[in-house]
Amino acid sequence: MIELSVTIGVFAVFMLFFVSVFQVIIQSIQFNKQIAAKMYAETQLENAFAVIEREMQWGGSMSGNLARTTIQRPDGSTAALTAFGSGEFGEGSATATSDGQTMKLKYAQVEKGILRKFSSYNEYAALEWGDPEVGTIEEVFLDKYPSNPAAKVYFSYIGGAQSLYTGKEDYWPKNSAATATLWAFSVDSLAAASTATLTYWEPIEKLFKTSENTEATGLYHNRPELSDYLLTLAYQIPEYPPTFKGIDIGGSREYFGEVISKTTFWVEDGSKLKMSKYVPTAHGTITQTLFEPIKAATFTIHQDYVQLDLIYLIPDPANPGQEIEFQKQRKFWTLGAG
Amino acid sequence: MRKKGFTVVELFIILGVFSVLISVAVPLWEKTSRDLQIARLLDAAAQGVLYVLGDARGNSVRQGTYVSRVSVVTDADGTPIHFASGVRRDEDGANKFYAISRWEIPQVLINTLYQPYVYDTISIDFEPAGKYYYIFGAWVKEESAHYTLLTDQASTTIRIYLTNQGTGTDAPQKVIRIVDGMPGVID
């Protein structure tokens, strides 16, 4: 009896030890999963914060001017750039929020990196869209825009099947490259319901095509013939005036060569932190999800910074279907332009 | 007089029970240990890929860049050496890829009881295969003559797995899906 009791006791202790070891292993695996999920979330959050920070660092750039900015058309008429006016932001303010769930930011900055004038366009023969008549690009645009006295088109490199370059002058595909797709602004590209001109250039065939549509165009399109990306954001400060007269800032001078952006961060359905960027010079909006899933997020605008309070969620490995909450707070400095 | 202590039969029974327990425990222990090693390696790989994707997205909304291509960079033998984001530029008529940020794809080492170590490599596949970019924070795929914007669930899966551990969906792997521009680990 004693031997049996001792054996059972030893066996029980062994089993207890055995089970405990596996419990520790299972808990370790679950904890590892939790740590990994938190690391993924933190990486994504830091990335989202970096994107916000990059936007915010421009906040205040020309903030006051943007509130007074008007568009000047070739005929001398002007129009308000309402998306940036004092009604929405307040003059001198770069940021705006109504309920803490949406935070808007406006800025303008000089952009030279991607803007290029097609200075040697006359070297290329051109073919109007659907018209076999061959002429120079300048002739095609003069024909297309007879009211445009300059008939000069400014655009940047847009991209193509084999060509994607940034930051240098040599944007243009060589003769060995595939078709490049180019963009040119229409006269009313700053107006809310603008028409726009999308152009195609085939360097191999020296073919220049022009098409127009009356739809508002953005940075991307669904229609097959318009399914290319627009990279042009603004006008280079030109030797030749662009097709619209320019932006009058502060009532004194015409101004070209600015990227003007209105960036909006918002909480969607209480579960996603999203961002959109409206670029009026291209009349286009891009939207992306910065982070999900979240439980809540609040923007609070202060004089010198914007504070984001956020509760994010990760799956709980120990309780399938449930989530673990973590809080995060970050300040984004606006250098007094809040 | 009855002798105290265990009989040989009892001893064998106990040893037998212990042997059975150990024969069950050791392979389980080895499998668990191996699975943990693989999980850690894949977690680290997913973290590296996420870092590159995040940096690509961040750069694509930065002045002067706007376009970031993400790609597996291979050496002359076709062996993957980096998961990188960068820009593609034309130099002397040839396209060259310049990495802005990159994660070095490591040779991994798995220790086991029976085998001292096993070398393996990490594979990173885009599904569907193709060339992918961030443009102004938007995730796009290069098509024959244009770029396709990938939004909602019509997106891309990036599958990360150990090359010699199988490639099926049951094989150990990490899956990253990019939805509305945001990469997220879903598996």
**Cβ of B185 and A51 within 8 Å?**
no
Nearest Cα residue to A101 out of A300, A338, A325: A300
Nearest Cα residue to A184 out of A166, A202, A208, A160: A208
Residue with tokens 């006051």: A64
pTM above 0.80, yes or no: no
- Give the pLDDT band of residue A80 (cuts 50, 70, 90): low
Does A320 sit behind a cis peptide bond, omega within 30 degrees of 0 on the bond before it? no
- Give the pLDDT band of residue B145 (cuts 50, 70, 90): very low
The pLDDT score that the predictor gives to residue B26 is 84
pLDDT tens for residues B79-104? 889 999 987 655 665 666 778 888 99
Asked if A292 and A273 count as a contact pair (C-beta separation under 8 A), the reply is yes
Lowest mean pLDDT, pick from A1-15, A227-241, B62-76: A227-241
Nearest chain A alpha carbon to B64: A113
- Give the pLDDT band of residue B33 (cuts 50, 70, 90): confident
Q: At what angle do helices A2-56 and B8-60 cross, to 10 degrees?
A: 0
Nearest chain B alpha carbon to A287: B138
How, if at all, do strands A125-127 and A102-110 pair? unpaired
What is chain B's mean pLDDT, rounded? Answer: 82
User: What's the rounded Cα separation, in Å, for the pair B135 and B67?
Assistant: 5
Q: Is B27 on the interface with A (CB under 8 A)?
A: no
B152: left (phi over 0), alpha (psi -120 to 50) or beta: left
Averaged pLDDT for residues A37-60 = 85
**Cβ of A288 and B51 within 8 Å?**
no
Nearest chain B alpha carbon to A159: B146
Q: In what order do the strands lie in the sheet with A284-291?
A: A95-96, A102-110, A258-268, A272-279, A284-291
pLDDT tens for residues A115-158? 233 333 333 344 444 444 445 545 555 565 555 433 333 333 33
Domain-wise residue ranges, chain A? 42-66+82-110+258-333, 112-232
pLDDT tens for residues B17-29? 889 988 988 888 8
Residue with tokens 């695996």: A29
Residues of B in contact with A18 (CB under 8 A): 21, 25
Residues of B in contact with A170 (CB under 8 A): 90
- Chain B, residues 125-154, CB within 8 A of chain A, namely 133, 135-140, 142-149
For B28, what's the count of Cα atoms within 13 Å in the CB-facing half-sphere? Answer: 12
Min Cα separation B119/chain A (Å): 23
pLDDT tens for residues A315-336? 998 888 899 999 999 988 876 5
Does pLDDT of A188 surpass 90?
no
Min Cα separation B181/chain A (Å): 5
Averaged pLDDT for residues A8-12 = 88
Nearest chain B alpha carbon to A259: B63
Lowest mean pLDDT, pick from A101-110, A152-161, B26-35, B39-48: A152-161
The pLDDT score that the predictor gives to residue A192 is 29
**Amino acid letter, residue A328:** K
User: What's the rounded Cα separation, in Å, for the pair A270 and A297?
Assistant: 8
**Quick check: helix, strand or coil at residue A71?**
strand
Q: Is B91 exposed, middle or buried (0-12, 13-18, 19+ CB in 10 A)?
A: exposed
The ipTM estimated for the assembled molecules is 0.73
**Cβ of B138 and A50 within 8 Å?**
no
Residues of B in contact with A36 (CB under 8 A): 39, 43, 46
Q: State percent of chain A over pLDDT 90.
A: 12
List alpha helices for A62-162, DSSP H.
Answer: 63-67, 86-89, 137-144
Q: Which of B58, B69, B93 lies at the smallest CB-CB distance from A51?
A: B58
**Cβ of A37 and B185 within 8 Å?**
yes
Min Cα separation A76/chain B (Å): 32
Min Cα separation A47/chain B (Å): 5
**Amino acid letter, residue A153:** V
